A and B are shown apart, each in its own frame.
Chain A
Amino acid sequence: MISEAPISRSMVVESKPSAIVGVCKEILSKLENNGFSKEDIFAVHLAMEEAFLNAVKHGNKMDAAKNVKIDYSLDPDKIEISMADEGDGFEPEAVADPRWGDGLYKPEGRGLLLMNSYMDVVRFNERGNCVYMVRYKEKPRITERESQTKL
């Protein structure tokens, strides 16, 4: 049965990697109930895991006293997710691309790349401690006119 009503929820979870499990279960089952594809569900799951681990490890420095605030909003066309940690933030542009040079051989640094690859929108606030992500159910198509203009 597909549910069409928009759903919004806000929650605060502790800074433990396993704390995302329940949140993922909730969001992913709602995606399934709302007709999102297996590809969408995989993508959102991966992005959420990466974003949460970044928030816990890099944002909150694994401090159990700190929390991560997660907001999500689901409608028939898209899922929007925000995650905010209590850290000082960072500059996403300053993160080295892990696909080239020495980065390719480093064990860390791929979370942001995967978030950007699997979500349609990934934006950070100015401070860099809150990420906003969107995955659309159906991707906007470039019209013939737009594609001609680009050439």
Chain B
Amino acid sequence: MAGIKPRISVEYAGDATIVTFTDEKILEEKDIKALQESIMSVIEQAERINLILDFGNVRFLSSAVLGLLIRLSKRIYERDGSLKLCSINPKIYEIFKITRLTKTFDICKDVESAVEGLYRAN
């Protein structure tokens, strides 16, 4: 039986939940749906999540992923949590810049700065 490659990995650092995308390319609708289900279940498990999304492995994504991030952020803020994105490579960051989502999302250089940012805020 072919193994199903997990699309995210989840780690914890203090109050932060770090979700790392494992795929290099995030394009297909079915993959984005699967990601939404996985990450939403991580969000729902915590009372008030401080979520850090690590894009370190991501080399390519479509605008549907931006839509996913907006849906995730809405759910997180409904539950009084926080969301940071990190380790976004320059080509992907350009997509965020063009769509002005750099104004909507808190984007950090790497996981360490994202975690640091959480403690500074608290």
Q: Which residues of A contact B (CB under 8 A)?
A: 17-18, 39, 42, 45-46, 49-50, 53, 98-100, 104-108, 110-111, 113-114, 117
Contact = CB atoms under 8 A, between A and B. Distances in A.
A17 B27 CA distance: 9
B104 A49 contact: no
Given A105-B70, A107-B71, A111-B63, A18 B99 contact: no
A24 B38 CA distance: 28
Interface string B82-114: 000000000100010011110110000000000
Contact of A42 (B30, B60, B62): B60
Nearest to A117: B98
- Overall SS of chain A's interface: helix
Interface in B55-91: 60, 62-64, 66-68, 70-71, 74, 91
B29 A107 contact: no
A132 to B, nearest CB: 20
A122 B122 CA distance: 47
A114 B63 contact: yes
A49 B98 contact: no
B63 A110 contact: yes
Interface of B: 27-30, 60, 62-64, 66-68, 70-71, 74, 91, 95, 98-101, 103-104
B104 A114 contact: no
A18 B28 contact: yes
B28 A107 contact: no
Given A17-B29, A53-B62, A107 B95 contact: no
Nearest to B64: A53
Please provide the 7 A-B residue pairs with the shortest distance between their CB atoms, ordered closest to farther.
A107-B67, A110-B63, A99-B100, A107-B70, A117-B98, A49-B62, A17-B29
Given A99-B100, A117-B98, A108 B28 contact: no
